[in-house]
Amino acid sequence: MSSTMSEKILARASGNEKVEAGDIIIANIDVAMTHDLTGPLAVESFEKIGVENVWDSSKIVIPFDHQVPADSIDSANNHIIMRKFVENQKIKNFYDVNAGVCHQILPELGHVVPGEVIVGADSHTCTHGALGAFSTGIGSTDMAMVFAEGNLWFKVPETNRFEITGELKDNVYAKDVILNIIGQVGADGSTYKACEFSGQTVGDMSVSDRMVLCNMAIEMGGKTGLVEPDKKTIEYVEKRSNKPYKIFKTDLNAPSLKTINIDVSDLEPQVACPNNVDNVKPVSEIDEEIDQVFLGSCTNGRISDLRDAAKILKGKEIAKSTRMLVIPASKETYLKALDEGLIKIFIEAGALVSSPCCGPCLGGHTGIIGPDEVSLSTSNRNFKGRQGSPEGKVYLSSAAVAAASALEGKIVAPE
């Protein structure tokens, strides 16, 4: 019987010839990631289990990215806990405060290849499905069991396959595509489903753009986001990793597959309005002055996003009523932006550029907003209190809309 990509990957990982949606299986884990914010609880829970050593120190990846450098005594203590764990367990893949956002550096540094099962103690771990892996977020206590045993139970998900067609207009990007999809299906439209993104539009996208789609699968309830590997995937992976991999693809007659057709030919720039990611409107329908623009995060802090924004900002000045915070997603991204002169463009335009980290995305660190302030962000969530004060408002957009809006002091589309 035919199977989906997710079913095939989970069958391999569980040692079964075949699994079907709804099956409960125990899958071996290829990569386990936790960071400075979720890691301490995972370590505490692991120590309570009473196992002396982790199952495989080479398969655990620990980046510091959420509160870096430490902004409080609590976060400094979290860093200490994790550094001791790394040392005691001889964790080979540890990235301290200067590396960047976890979901950017894992694929960038070769930890993600097609066909793997990847778990992370962070909900946006689904980003890595852009490279053809089954990648999903789990809780810190589940991560403790992975540390101890190297496996975890899963319910095999059904699949929603978004067949995306049409050529994108100028100044319309992958972020607009995924916001539009979430607006159509709703925040619970793919609950515990594998969200596959396919079609010619996706085929034309870069790997970075595909990461944007998969990153936000969780915002419509998805268990994971996935793109079938192609030539672009293989080129990206083989340039960055020497790990063996296996490519799986979905059989279009698989029983658990539902195909949803999306035509983006007439799509215009989109914005998610407060306080839900599925509250999506075209930019042309929004009239809102803004206090802050945040360009960064695991959704849109890559070099392509910085280039898009710099092209709009070059030789211009940000509105005096608005502040702009630019945070590259990784050290590699930051260095490329330096080499290309993008950082100079941002600073001359009046933006503040910070070192790679999550920044204000989670409301726990750099650049949070105060009561009644309005933030336009290239990140992935706009829930009440997500970027600071619960009385503040957060809108989500592409990097291009963010840059154009910074110049105007209100939400607008690029000319």
User: Which helix (H) or strand (E) segment is 202 a member of?
Assistant: helix 200-204
Q: What is the CA radius of gyration of the chain?
A: 20
Q: What is the Cα–Cα distance from 122 to 102, expressed in whole angstroms? A: 9
- The two three-digit tokens of residue 359, written as one number: 């920044």
Extract long-range pairs of 142-145: CB within 8 Å, 24+ residues apart.
143/32, 143/34, 143/38, 143/42, 143/45, 143/119, 144/42, 144/43, 144/44, 144/45, 144/46, 144/48, 144/49, 145/49
Please list the rounded mean pLDDT of every run of 10 residues in the chain (415 residues). 96 97 98 97 95 96 94 94 97 96 97 98 97 97 97 98 97 97 96 98 98 98 98 97 97 96 97 96 96 97 98 97 96 97 98 93 87 96 89 97 98 94
State residue 269's pLDDT score.
97
Q: pLDDT at position 316, please?
A: 97
Give pairs for 24-27: CB < 8 Å, separation 24+. 24/153, 24/154, 24/155, 24/156, 25/153, 25/154, 25/156, 26/151, 26/152, 26/153, 26/154, 27/117, 27/151, 27/152, 27/153, 27/154
- What phi, psi does 328 have (nearest 5°)? -60, 150
pLDDT computed for residue 188 by the predictor: 95
Antiparallel, parallel or unpaired: β 151-155 and 24-28: antiparallel
Q: Can you list the positions of beta strands (E) in 277-392?
A: 280-282, 292-295, 323-326, 352-353, 374-377
- In three-state secondary structure terms, 235 is helix
Ramachandran bin of 241, using left for φ above 0, alpha for ψ from -120 to 50, beta for the remaining angles: beta
What pLDDT sits at residue 304?
97
Determine the 3-state secondary structure of 216 from DSSP.
helix
